[in-house]
A and B are shown apart, each in its own frame.
Chain A
C-alpha cells in the first residue's frame, strides 16, 4: 500500500526502462506516460503504440489503471509525465477533430430520445452544420451497421442491455472516428449477449477498418477479438507484458475450442497472475 504514495522523483528514477516499442505505423502512441492523482502514482512510465487499423486490448486486475490509460488516450485526463498522441495530435485536439469515438460500460442513452436520435446525438454537437434529416440518416445508417436497423424508433427502455450498448457503439461510430476507445463495453452484459456482442464488434471492425482499443478483464474476450494484448500490473499501473495474437481473421466463436486459443489463454492467464504482484518497476 505504501508504494502507491509516490512522488514524481520516483517516476523519473524508473525511466531507465528500455523502450522496445516501434513508433513507425502507430496511430496512437504513449511515450513515458506517468500519472499522479491525489499524490498516488496511478500509471508509471507507459510506453504503448497502437498501429493504425489494429485491434488492441488492455487487460489487467482491478485498479491497475487500464481505464485511466484509456481516459488519457481520450484526452479526458492529462498525463503528469510523458505524452500521448493520436495521429501526431494531442488527444484533446484529436477529439475536437472527431477522431475519437468513446464507448463506456454503461450505454448512457438519453431516455427522452429514441434509438436513432441517440445514435446521432454526439454528432449533432460535433457538427452543428448538419440538418435534422442528415442526422437521422446518419443515425439510421449506424444503427444498421450495429444490427439495429429496425429499432430506430424504439425508446431506450424498450431495448435490452445488449441493444442499448449497440446504440452506444453506433453513437460513437456516427462521428466516423479514426479510433474507437472502449472501456469494458460488455462488462454489464450476460455471457451469451457478451459473446454475440464481441462477434459483432469484430464484424464492425473488419467492415469499417477502425482502430480499436478495448479495455477488458475477460481473457477469452481479449484473445478472441484482438491482434495485440497488453497486460497491466498493479501498484503502480504499468505494462508488464505484451502478447501478439497471431490467429487469423475472420475469427468466430469456434476459435475458442482450438488448441492454439487454449494455449494463448493459459499463457495470458499466467501473465495476469504475475501482474498481480505489486512491483516498483519491471
Chain B
C-alpha cells in the first residue's frame, strides 16, 4: 500500500483515457475551430456592427484588455457557485435523509418539496434581494432553491431502490433502522446521488448568474448586465465565455468527485 504503487495504478488507469480523448475530442475541436473561423469571416465580409455581433478577435481583445477586472469578477462568481453548490448538496442530502428516516416527517415534507418545484425559482431572485441585500446571501439562497432538488430526488431514488431480499437479510439478523439506513441505503444511493450532484453543479452556475442579474455590484452576471447597457457587446461575450468555462470546470470537478466517492459504481466497473 505504498504511495508509489497507488500512483502507478492511477497513471495506468489515466493513460488509456488520454489516448481515447484524442479520438473522442478531435472532431469536436475541428468543428469548434471551423465555426469560429466562419464567424470571424462572416463579421468581416458582411461588415456586421460590433455591438450586434462582435468578431471573435474583438471578443479576445476585450478579454485581454479587461483581464484583471474580468478575473476579479470570475473569482467572485466562482466563490458564489462553490459556496452555493456545497450548501445545496448538504441541504439536499439532509432533506433526503429526513424523508427516509422519519416516516411521518417524510410524508409531510415530500409533497411540499415537490410542490415547491413548481414555483418558478428564478422569479424568487428579486424577493431574495429584498430580504438579504446585495451581498453573497441572496445568491446562495437562490442557488440553494434551484439546485437542492436533483440532489434530494436522486438520493431518495437510490435509497429506495435497495433490493427487498437484501433488506430481508438485514432484518433476519435484527438490524436496526439506522443500521439499514447508514450501512445499506446511504452507500447504495451514492451512485445516483453523484448523478444528482452533477446536475446541481450545472444549476449552481445558473443560480449564481441569475442572482447577480437581480442585483449585484460584482461578478460575471453583473459584468454582463453592465456591459450590455454600455453596448459593449464584445465584453458581454467575453464574460459569457468565462461563465461557460466556470460551468465546465464545476461539472468536471463534480465528475472527478464521483470517481473518488463511488469508484465501485456500475458505470466505472464495467471496464
Asked if A125 and B174 sit within 8 Å, CB to CB, the answer is: yes
Partner of B174, one of A71, A108, A126: A126
**A-contacting residues, B131-174, CB 8 Å:** 163, 165-166, 168-174
Partner of A111, one of B174, B175, B264: B264
Asked if B165 and A104 sit within 8 Å, CB to CB, the answer is: yes
Residues on the A chain within 8 Å of B24, using CB: none
Rounded to whole angstroms, the CA-CA distance of A100 and B171 in the bound complex is: 12
With contact pairs A110-B184, A110-B187 given, residues A125 and B175 touching in the complex (Cβ less than 8 Å): yes
Asked if A125 and B179 sit within 8 Å, CB to CB, the answer is: yes
Rounded to whole angstroms, the CA-CA distance of A125 and B169 in the bound complex is: 11
Rounded to whole angstroms, the CA-CA distance of A125 and B171 in the bound complex is: 10
Asked if B165 and A108 sit within 8 Å, CB to CB, the answer is: yes
**B-contacting residues, A37-58, CB 8 Å:** none
**A180 CB, min distance to chain B CBs, angstroms:** 12
With contact pairs A111-B266, A112-B264, A155-B264 given, residues A106 and B173 touching in the complex (Cβ less than 8 Å): no
Rounded to whole angstroms, the CA-CA distance of A75 and B158 in the bound complex is: 27
**A174 CB, min distance to chain B CBs, angstroms:** 10
Total number of A-B contacts with CB less than 8 angstroms? 58
Q: Does B8 contact A (CB under 8 A)?
A: no
**A76 (CB) vs chain B CBs: closest residue:** B168
Rounded to whole angstroms, the CA-CA distance of A110 and B169 in the bound complex is: 12
Partner of A157, one of B175, B179, B262, B269: B269
Residues on the A chain within 8 Å of B61, using CB: none
Residues on the B chain within 8 Å of A100, using CB: 172
Rounded to whole angstroms, the CA-CA distance of A110 and B264 in the bound complex is: 10
Residues on the A chain within 8 Å of B169, using CB: 102, 104, 108, 122, 171
Q: Does B183 contact A (CB under 8 A)?
A: yes
With contact pairs A125-B179, A155-B264 given, residues A111 and B172 touching in the complex (Cβ less than 8 Å): no
**B165 (CB) vs chain A CBs: closest residue:** A104
Q: Does A164 contact B (CB under 8 A)?
A: no
Q: Does A178 contact B (CB under 8 A)?
A: no
**B142 CB, min distance to chain A CBs, angstroms:** 35
Give the size range of B's interface with the partner.
Answer: 20 to 34
Rounded to whole angstroms, the CA-CA distance of A102 and B163 in the bound complex is: 15
Asked if A106 and B163 sit within 8 Å, CB to CB, the answer is: yes
Residues on the B chain within 8 Å of A108, using CB: 163, 165-166, 169
Residues on the A chain within 8 Å of B269, using CB: 111, 155, 157
**B138 CB, min distance to chain A CBs, angstroms:** 39
**B31 CB, min distance to chain A CBs, angstroms:** 36
Residues on the B chain within 8 Å of A104, using CB: 165, 168-169
**B257 CB, min distance to chain A CBs, angstroms:** 16
**A104 (CB) vs chain B CBs: closest residue:** B165
Q: Does A74 contact B (CB under 8 A)?
A: yes
Rounded to whole angstroms, the CA-CA distance of A216 and B165 in the bound complex is: 17
Residues on the B chain within 8 Å of A136, using CB: none
Rounded to whole angstroms, the CA-CA distance of A71 and B177 in the bound complex is: 20
**B190 (CB) vs chain A CBs: closest residue:** A112
With contact pairs A125-B179, A157-B264 given, residues A95 and B174 touching in the complex (Cβ less than 8 Å): yes
A-B contact pairs, 29 of them (CB 8 A): A71-B168, A76-B168, A76-B171, A95-B173, A95-B174, A96-B174, A98-B173, A100-B172, A102-B172, A104-B168, A104-B169, A105-B165, A106-B163, A108-B165, A108-B166, A110-B187, A111-B266, A111-B269, A112-B190, A122-B169, A125-B170, A125-B173, A125-B174, A125-B175, A125-B183, A126-B173, A155-B264, A157-B270, A171-B169
The interface of chain B, by Cβ under 8 A from chain A, is 163, 165-166, 168-175, 179, 183-184, 187-188, 190, 262, 264-266, 269-270
Q: Which 9 A-B pairs have the closest CB atoms?
A: A157-B269, A126-B173, A104-B165, A108-B166, A95-B172, A112-B264, A111-B264, A125-B175, A96-B174
